Structure 1
Amino acid sequence: MEIVLDDKQRQEIQCLIVQAVNKGVEQASNTRPYLSRKEIAQYFGVGESTITHWASLGMPVAIVDGRKLYGKRSITQWLESKEKQQKSL
């Protein structure tokens, strides 16, 4: 059995494959509980400098073999605790 595709069909299939791979990579990265500073900044939609600032304010940071890792759940909880403090002011 042989399948013959013209250039347009080949290009459409390539685009679909690239989209599927990119979506898979995105989903895989979102399931990791700990991310790098760059990744956590993207996750929360802020700049890397904001993550550094938040860490100086007491945001939880895990250090493993000298590498800083940022937990999505623990940072979310930390941010929520700051939100509650603001409500009581």
Structure 2
Amino acid sequence: MEIKLDENQERDLSSHIINLVKDSVKQAISNESKPYLNRKEIAKYFGVADSTISYWATLGMPVAIIDGRKLYGKQSITNWLKSKEKAVISKS
């Protein structure tokens, strides 16, 4: 399959892609400097679904609640996850 674009379409597409990359880099940098994130951000940070974060909270994952707003500490959750690690011995 081949797609042909005229000059204007190519320029618009290139501009759109560049802006998407710039926005993604800005967001990544912003989230790296923030020690606490909302549920959607922390789910993305750990590469899991939003619902997984809610489930983990029911298992005792640390959550900061300020004025009814839930915030999730990257370091606190990393430490909590580490505390759940267990050695698995494979029997072959």
Q: TM over 0.5: same fold?
A: yes
**What whole-Å deviation, never above 9, does each CA across 1:22-67 have from its counterpart, x for those lacking one?**
3122211222110111111111111111111111111000000110
Q: Which residue of 1 aligns with 2:84?
A: 82
Question: Normalized against structure 2, the TM-score is what?
Answer: 0.71
Q: What SS does structure 1 have at the residue aligned with 2:60? A: coil
Q: How many residues align?
A: 81
Identity %: 51
5+ long unaligned stretches in structure 2: 1-6
**2:87 aligns to what SS in structure 1?**
helix
Q: Output the amino acid matched with 1:30.
A: E
Compare the two structures and name the one with the higher helix fraction: 1
Task: Using structure 1 for the length normalisation, give the TM-score.
Answer: 0.73
1:29 to 22, 25, 31: 31
User: Which one-letter code corresponds to 1:87 in the other structure?
Assistant: A
Change (3 A) 1:52 1:14: closer
Pairwise CA distance, 1:14:
6.3
